[in-house]
């Protein structure tokens, strides 16, 4: 069964938006591949833009600065740079 993606317009935020690209709130399961590990780690995608993604990290105590993110079981993947982390939430920037 293909994953279900839910996109929600974020009209509740009343603060100043400092992001370079508009983000959409998304609820989707993705996978992370961490350097030096054979297995992949499940993760929840919280929001998405053309430049990066907001993640909910499920039990990942350590997350390296660079990792791969996949939406489709690693048929394709994106190299990511961890920009920020606060507890089980994090923000990643897509790298070329």
CATH number of 22-95: 2.40.10.220
Kindly report, residue by residue over 33-92, the tens digit of the pLDDT: 999 999 899 999 999 999 999 999 988 888 899 999 999 999 999 999 999 999 999 999
SS3 23: coil
> Looking at residue 18, what is its pLDDT?
59
Kindly report, residue by residue over 45-57, the tens digit of the pLDDT: 999 999 999 999 9
pLDDT grade for 17, boundaries at 50, 70 and 90: low
- CB-hemisphere CA count at 13 Å for 45? 25
Domain segments of the chain: what residues? 22-95
Cα–Cα distance, 6 to 24 (Å, whole number) = 10
């Amino acid at each position: 069964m293909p994953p279900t993606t839910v996109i929600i317009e974020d009209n509740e935020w009343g603060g100043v938006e400092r992001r370079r690209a508009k983000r959409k709130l998304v609820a989707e399961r993705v996978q992370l591949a961490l350097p030096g590990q054979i297995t992949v780690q499940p993760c929840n995608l919280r929001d998405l833009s053309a430049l990066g993604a907001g993640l909910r990290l499920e039990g990942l105590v350590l997350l390296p600065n660079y990792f791969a993110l996949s939406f489709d079981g690693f048929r394709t993947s994106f190299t990511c740079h961890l920009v920020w982390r606060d507890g089980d939430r994090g923000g990643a920037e897509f790298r070329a």
